[in-house]
Amino acid sequence: MQGKKFLLVGMLYALSYFGWAQSPLTGIIAGTVRATSGETLPGIHVRLDSLTNVTVTDADGRFRFNNLAPGTYVLTGSGVGFATNQQTVPVRAGETSACTLVLNEAVQTVDEVAVVGQVTSQEVRKRAFAVEAIDALALQNRNVDMNRLLDRTMGVQVRETGGMGSDFTYSIQGLSGKAVKFFIDGIPMESFGSSYRINNVPINLVDRIDVYKGVVPVELAGDALGGAVNLITRRDVGSYLDATYSFGSFGTHRGALSGRWRQAKTGFTTNAQLFYNASKNNYPVWGPTIEIAGPDGRPLPDVGRLRRFNDDYQSANARLEAGFTNVRWADRLLLALTVTDLERGIQTGRTMAFVYGEVRYRERLVMPSLTFAKNDFFIKGLNVDAFASLNSLQGTTVDTSSRKYNWRGEVIANNVRGELGGIRAQRSLYTFNDRTALAGLNVTYQPADGHRFTLNALHNQTRRTGSDALAIADWTIPFRLPQQLGKQIVGLSYEQERLAGRLTNTIFMKYYRYAAQANAYDYNGGAQRELLVNRQQQAVWGFGLASTYQLHARTRLKLSAESATRLPDALELLGDGNTILNAPGLRPEQSLNANAGVQHRIGRASHTWNIATGLFFRHTNNLIWLGEADLFGTARYENLNRIQTLGLETEVQYRYRNWLRLTANATYQDIRNKLRYTAAGAPNHVFNDRLRNTPYLLANAEISLTKADLFWKGALASCYLGTHYVPAYFLGWPSLGARATKRVIPTQFVQDVGAEFTTPNRRYVLGVDCRNLLNQRIYDNYLLQKPGRFLSVKVRYFLSQTKSSHVK
């Protein structure tokens, strides 16, 4: 694979492209940030027009921007516990413009103030929905991936099956799997392929992460049932170059390069993003399922620690955009091309009882897309945001070996026909081709202050074809013939503000429609097997409401509820042709979701406590669930009826000035099977059992320290220590089987630590991180062991040139 060469060429090109010399006829902005009391404020983020031209005030509250082209700039300052403030500053060639930026204490909200992006994190948290807004800017120098970051968020659990590139699922307040949807700037990511998933997106490309729990607003066009994660990317006005590289344990490398160039006169804009991820994933594994047979065929009693050996992963992603931004006729009109490339080894089946030495998977994606956005479209208050894309996704699983391996990597058989074995019992070279058309439109209209209407429509159409140059068995027939899935989702909402903005009410409705065609090869009431084409079509309505009330200056109340539907996606319905079989009879899942919460703030500027507590309820029918693996390591999705969830979550944040921060959160979720009788009318033996293979308690804590002017004036250093805890839980239904023989996912108690240093000019950053500090044996899924202690180093280089801009 040419990923490394591709990234290197891209970096060299970008460096030459952005390496123009700055004009000697430049000016300087130098200033101080103070509180209304006159106290200087260290550690405050100050932005200059573009989202990338950012600095942090030193121990005396001072900041400075050098080499600025003459013009008029807008300074934006914000920090934890203070309201955001802006100030216009003129710059003249050869002069220093001095200024003082004053921040008021943020007494009108219980939320942490984050650096201003398109919409501030503070404004998102004030919405009526149960939502967490994570300021990614403050974490961009950490060597942390999205899964690791979001797994520490209150009410969220991310379950991975291994190291880099492994499969993962999100659970938000008890609902998991595909019930949680992912978006990037409001565009669904479900058809972007395995390489362009949330965990592969570098944090440097993201300004903010919005995590919606339960009820999801209509502007996120999709059929999310349990929540949604929306990545808000940076939309910088100025030109910049941002390059990062990290390396770590188990042969892990991550590189990211992003840049933007905008011509101020015409608004012509180009954006480029390249990121590359690779790992050998050869970490040690040990424990009850790492078995090696002795001479007598019985498992040896103690085989020690062995390394994974066919688990390597490589992915390369490139995205190029060209068009116009911030012009009179469009805020954004961009034509983009996204290309991804992925290759990885497949080490195990659904459990570690199966080990493969040569099974491989390759995937390619090509996706052109177009986005358009315009505020005050023809009339004031009418905002339009539209996108469309076509993609071609090809995935190939290679299982052509005649050798079978054990966990030592030794060949134990030379006469097998493919390692996946079982019903396959033959070599396979299966390729599927997905063609997906995606189109969405979001329109908001605000006829008057305090009133806003939103209309959102999404169309998603996928057609899958398959082929296998080697396999001819009957079971492969459903995968080789065309299958398709189409979804249409429309949402309409009305938002009203009352009592001078203290009370906000939102009501909405959603319309879901899908049509699917899947294949099965089975008996149809006779003795002869035949191809069965299963066609389904269904339309469902959903409704909901959300309200928030500012009880007083420091306390906010929230309530939201909806009747939601989630349609099966391509993987669940059509399978992948290998470890996941297709499920032609799968039905949409439906859920009644409700959230209630309170947010409260205590203290003033120096000492601040933020406390958030919430209750949540879910009643789900036809829950789409990946069944247990069979004897051959394969599984298919199935429906579970009447699953009920009651839960409580709470988070406490403490801040002392801008150098100490402590966060702790916990989520308790009681998820039970409420189906009294089976479809045949018999009593359900697992009635009122806790949902199998699902934890009931999640807890996280982190302490971080920040020190300005360490070693050099204007430098910034920080460090953190975090911990994550999940108690043991059963793989199967608790009431079935003897307790001594039950399979259990053991207790997880993991610590992470890290530090970072930023130079005074904010151009260079060095970070060091260690995950799983104590080298614990950890699992998210049954005995699929994750990496132990993981050390990594990250370096970042950032260059920007801000042009003069018009103040709106």
Query: In the predicted model, is pLDDT for residue 22 greater than 60?
Result: no
Q: Which has more pLDDT, 37 or 545?
A: 545
More reliable by pLDDT, 372 or 207 = 372
Above 50 in pLDDT, residue 615? Answer: yes
Q: What is the pLDDT of residues 73-93, one digit of tens each?
A: 888 887 655 667 888 888 888
Q: Is 479 helix (H, G, I), strand (E, B) or coil?
A: helix
Contacts of 652 (CB under 8 A, 6+ apart): 609, 610, 611, 662, 663, 664, 665
Domain map (residue ranges) of the chain: 3-9+113-801, 10-103
Q: Can you tell me the mean pLDDT for 482-494?
A: 91
State the Cα–Cα distance between residues 183 and 190, nearest whole angstrom: 8
In the prediction, which pLDDT does 52 show? 46
Instruction: Identify the bridge partners of residue 323 per DSSP, sorted by sequence position.
Output: 269, 334
10 or 513: which leads in pLDDT: 513
Higher pLDDT, 771 or 475: 771
687-706 mean pLDDT: 93
* Most trustworthy range by pLDDT among 123-132, 217-226, 441-450: 441-450
Task: Report residue 14's pLDDT band, with 50, 70 and 90 as the boundaries.
Answer: very low
Q: Is the pLDDT of residue 675 over 90?
A: no
Note the pLDDT of residue 8.
41
Q: What is the pLDDT of residue 526?
A: 66
Per-residue pLDDT reduced to its tens digit, 769-792: 999 999 999 988 877 899 999 999
Question: Which of 103 and 791 is assigned the larger pLDDT?
Answer: 791
**Cα gap 462→222, rounded to integer Å:** 15
Which of the following CATH numbers is that of domain 10-103: 2.60.40.10, 2.40.30.10, 2.102.10.10, 3.30.365.10? 2.60.40.10
Q: What's the average model confidence in pLDDT over 622-643?
A: 75
Instruction: Give the least confident one: 144-158, 296-310, 754-768.
Output: 296-310
Q: How far does Cα 720 stand from its chain's mean position?
A: 22
Amino acid identity at 31: G
Q: In the predicted model, is pLDDT for residue 55 greater than 80? A: no
Joined together, the tokens standing for residue 104 give 């008021």
pLDDT at 217 over 60: yes
For range 648-654, the mean pLDDT: 95
pLDDT digits (tens, 9 = 90+) for 330-342: 999 999 999 999 9
Looking at residue 516, its pLDDT comes to: 83
Site of tokens 């058989």: 413
Architecture of domain 3-9+113-801: Beta Barrel (2.40)
pLDDT > 50? residue 118: no
Select, from the ranges 67-76, 130-139, 228-237, 453-462, the one with the highest average predicted confidence (pLDDT).
453-462
Q: For the ranges 63-77, 379-393, 480-494, 657-671, which has the lowest average pLDDT?
A: 63-77
Q: Which residue has the higher pLDDT, 7 or 253?
A: 253
Residue 676 contacts by C-beta under 8 Å, 6 or more apart in sequence?
683, 684, 687
Give the pLDDT band (50/70/90) at residue 9: very low
Is there a shared CATH topology between the 3-9+113-801 domain and the 10-103 domain? Answer: no
Interval 433-444 mean pLDDT: 95
Q: What is the mean pLDDT of residues 725-754?
A: 88
pLDDT at 452: 95
Q: How large a percentage of the chain has pLDDT more than 90? A: 41
State the Cα–Cα distance between residues 719 and 700, nearest whole angstrom.
17
**Predicted local confidence at residue 537, as pLDDT:** 86
Give residue 647's pLDDT band: very low, low, confident or very high (50, 70, 90): very high
Give the residue-averaged pLDDT of 553-581. Answer: 82
pTM of the complete model:
0.82
Give the model confidence (pLDDT) of 171-181 as tens digits: 998 888 788 89
- Identify the band that residue 122 occupies on the pLDDT scale cut at 50, 70 and 90: low
Q: Which of 444, 536, 449 is nearest to 491 (CA)?
A: 444
SS3 125: helix
**Average predicted confidence (pLDDT) for the chain:** 84
C-alpha 650/C-alpha 641 separation (Å) is 29
Phi, psi of 499 (to 5 degrees): 55, 50
Per-residue pLDDT, 334: 96
- CA 377, 382, 387: angle at the middle one, nearest 5? 70
Q: How many CB atoms lie within 10 A of CB 633?
A: 19
**DSSP labels, 448-463:** ETTEEEEEEEEEEEEE
> Higher confidence at residue 318 or residue 286?
318
